[in-house]
Structure 1
Amino acid sequence: MEQSTVFAARVDRWSRGRPLLVDGLLAGVIWLVFGLLSLLAGPTGLAVATATVLPLAWRRKRPAALLAWTAAVFVVQLVVLPIPLPANIAQALMIYTVAAHVASLAVRLGALGAALAGSLAAGFRWSTAPDYTRNAFVIAAFLAVFAGLIWLIGNVVRGRETNTRALGEAYARLEESRRQRERFLAQRERVEAAREIHDIVAHSLTVVVVQADGAEYAAEHAQPWDRTDARAVLATIGRTARTALAEVRGVIDVLRDPEGADDPAGPSVGLADLGRLVAAVRAAGLRVEIRADPAVFERTPAAVRLAVLRVVRESLTNVLKHAGAGATARVVVERTPGAVRVRVEDDGAGPAPGVVAAGPGHGLGGMRERLRALDGALAAGPRPGGGFGVEATVPVAAGGGRP
């Protein structure tokens, strides 16, 4: 059954792609069968049959014009011949063609009206005595019912084809929507990857710049040169660069393997990662006081833990950039009913006179967008007593876990 259905579908597609060829073959077959049979009415019958049947080769190309032609030939037939012809099947086929392939309701109703009028005229022309009138109405009624059924079938077929086209257009729109959604998701992945790489590079370069500036100052002013301090500075720079390189490679690996990004477990982020982040910032010369609830990294979803780490990293990077020398940062990560709260505050006075502050970046905006994706919120601004503060709240349920 399935193979026959597939074969029928292929035949249908082939015939729809070659309407002139198919209609030409159909006209030829009808003429060979019904046209030649019309020769029983003599040469006049053959001529009328030929004029009726052969134009069917263009029935789907110009249905309205051929309907008028067929009607005119039928009028001639009623005048010159007192009997029906086998080729009159062509009139029925034209009625079906107009009903099935013409969109104009007026033309379709005109075809039905012409068919009914022709049925009545044929009934009186082909009726015989002795009960001439009764026979005329019986013949007319039979032809009218037959023509009406043909017209109705054509309209049903036209409606089916219209629905099929509508479904095809709807499917095409859905397919285009799917492709647009895929492009949007790919673009969003690229934006998120770019934002992640920006955060990694910004934090790492900030640490590197602070260490390099400090080493440059010490090399110029410190007496004598302390090899131990120099080695510590270089070790911090190397460790920071290697960590940044590994994290950037991890982001690129996620882009290369999108299925890995759908892992429900998410990236493994724990309290140790927060500790390494704080240690790197301290090595850059910033005093950091931290109080972190271990439960935040033990009983919360991976997405929430990753968001916490990103907020702390971006906030401490901003402290390094903007707080100035001698600043102290305080980090608090605590669990509240149904959410995780992160506070990062500093008491910095800003860059020293003559030092150019880092230009405005996209860190706060990026944090807000990330937290918004988790139904979280971010508040940031100067503190009344001096310095700057950042406070983020991330609902635990947004990450897919239980409060």
Structure 2
Amino acid sequence: MRQRTFLAARIDQWSREHPRRLDLTLTGLMWLVSGLPSALAGLPAFLVATAAILPLVVRRRFPAAVLLWSAAVFGVQLMVVPIPLPADIAQAVVVYTVAAHVVSLPVRLLALGAALAGSVLAGLRWSTPPEYLVNVFKNAVVLGILSVLVWVIGNLVRGRQANMSALREASARLEESRLHRERFVVQQQRVAAAREIHDIVAHSLTVVIVQADGAEYAAEHARPWDRGDAGRVFATIGRTARSALAEVRGVIEVLREADADGPDELRGAGLGLAELRQLVDSVRAAGLAVEVEAEPTAFDDVPTAIRFAVLRVVRESLTNVLKHAGPYAAAHVVVARAQGGIMVRVEDDGVADAIADHGSEPGYGLDGMRERLRALGGVLEAGPRPGGGFVVDAAIPVAVLPPSARPAGFAAAPGGTGRSGER
């Protein structure tokens, strides 16, 4: 239903949208009301009145020129017409127009000076004896006061228009800023989704590659070929690929939703020990021996974002073990509550050569985990262990706290500092 507005509001809107039509209409009405009756004072009065009123059609486009023309016409009127005319209202309209629509202060002051000078000259021309000087003074003061009032009103209107223009510009800047913020949020969502897809695909493809390499080796060297083992290998590959496809589709669907605000929205609220066990089982199926120590209450009263981050740390760490720790490595995962947060440790006993070889191939897994934990107020430290292997320690507060109140992470891994490369 269209909202109804007052008649005055509709007229004001129309006048702002069609200023030239408004000026033409007002000029015509003014000529009919005050110009045409001036003919009663004679032909010269009629011609002067017409010459004073008609230029009002272009008063907004050429206010300074109309001011000069109006002053000249008024001077002619004082010489040829001994009495005031109804069309003299046009002089006030011109003064108002200059004050309201001219930015230059000297031009506006010129209009005021011309109006005051015209008031004095009109007082001299239109006053009559016997108290001629008194009448001159009265007429000049009255006309001068009216001229000043018209000029002030015009300046007030110009100031209002300037304020409205400034408000519109400020509103446009705010709208542009809002659009920039929305684009930034969308970009952040895409970065978060890209990180999730990277984690999903990297882990799943690692499992698939390990299983495929093992199956290829067994097919070439094992005697006899065990169909049951082959079936389990292909079942693991198929299950891992389907799970990765489903997760990637879920991330993409969330990315398409307008109300997706970040990583919290990328998974449901049911993340916990069951998902941790499922993740570990998929890694075990790829041939990695994994031992898990997880407190039954580790995920109790924990926000979804933190649960999700814990699983991502475990997944990325175990994926790195599969890729870089060697064929006979074993991993140990610890998830526990301590110091007001969740502590995660993933360590392996991989061979030292594999770790050294990996040092020249920087990746993004550890950096991605650090960024994720930093957004939640947590810390992550990673480095080699003495005698071989690698350890990843993470500490995530249950609630995001200021830096001074954040719990400290595990101590740095002995024998090394944090590494920026992926392992």
Q: TM-score, normalised by structure 2?
A: 0.88
Say which SS state the counterpart of residue 206 (structure 2) adopts.
helix
- Mapped to 1, the partners of 2:85 and 2:172 lie a distance apart of 47
The match for 1:128 is 128
Report if the CA contact (8 A) 1:325-1:352 is conserved.
no
Superposition RMSD in Å = 2.3
Say whether residues 1:33 and 2:33 are aligned partners: yes
- Mapped to 1, the partners of 2:285 and 2:58 lie a distance apart of 87
Report if the CA contact (8 A) 1:323-1:346 is conserved.
yes
The match for 2:4 is 3
Aligned-residue identity in percent? 64
The match for 1:302 is 304
The match for 2:363 is 361
One-letter amino acid matched to 2:158: R
One-letter amino acid matched to 1:3: R
Distance 1:398 1:109, change over 3 A: same
Report if the CA contact (8 A) 1:321-1:357 is conserved.
no
Say which SS state the counterpart of residue 167 (structure 1) adopts.
helix
Say whether residues 1:334 and 2:336 are aligned partners: yes
Distance 1:384 1:124, change over 3 A: farther
Report if the CA contact (8 A) 2:325-2:354 is conserved.
no
Report if the CA contact (8 A) 1:378-1:393 is conserved.
yes
Distance 1:146 1:374, change over 3 A: same
The match for 1:101 is 101
The match for 2:194 is 194
Shift of residue 192 of structure 1?
A: 1.3
Shift of residue 54 of structure 1?
A: 0.1
Show the 5 A alignment for 1:1-400: 3-5=4-6, 7-259=7-259, 266-349=268-351, 359-398=361-400
| Larger mean Cα displacement after TM superposition, 114-123 or 263-272 | 263-272
- Mapped to 1, the partners of 2:94 and 2:298 lie a distance apart of 79
Shift of residue 32 of structure 1?
A: 0.9
- Mapped to 1, the partners of 2:121 and 2:337 lie a distance apart of 93
Shift of residue 351 of structure 1?
A: 6.4
Shift of residue 374 of structure 1?
A: 1.4
Which consecutive aligned stretches of 4+ in structure 1 deviate over 6 angstroms post-superposition? Answer: 262-265, 355-358
Shift of residue 275 of structure 1?
A: 0.4
| Larger mean Cα displacement after TM superposition, 273-282 or 114-123 | 114-123
Where does the alignment leave 5 or more consecutive residues of structure 2 unmatched?
A: 402-406, 408-423
Deviations 1:97-143 (A, max 9, x none): 11111111221122111111111111111111111111101101101
One-letter amino acid matched to 2:4: Q
Shift of residue 294 of structure 1?
A: 2.3
One-letter amino acid matched to 1:143: L
One-letter amino acid matched to 1:338: G
Aligned residues: 397
Report if the CA contact (8 A) 1:286-1:328 is conserved.
yes
Distance 1:14 1:287, change over 3 A: same
| Larger mean Cα displacement after TM superposition, 231-240 or 132-141 | 231-240
Report if the CA contact (8 A) 1:301-1:396 is conserved.
yes
Shift of residue 359 of structure 1?
A: 5.0
Report if the CA contact (8 A) 1:322-1:358 is conserved.
no
- Mapped to 1, the partners of 2:5 and 2:317 lie a distance apart of 68
Shift of residue 331 of structure 1?
A: 1.4
One-letter amino acid matched to 2:122: A
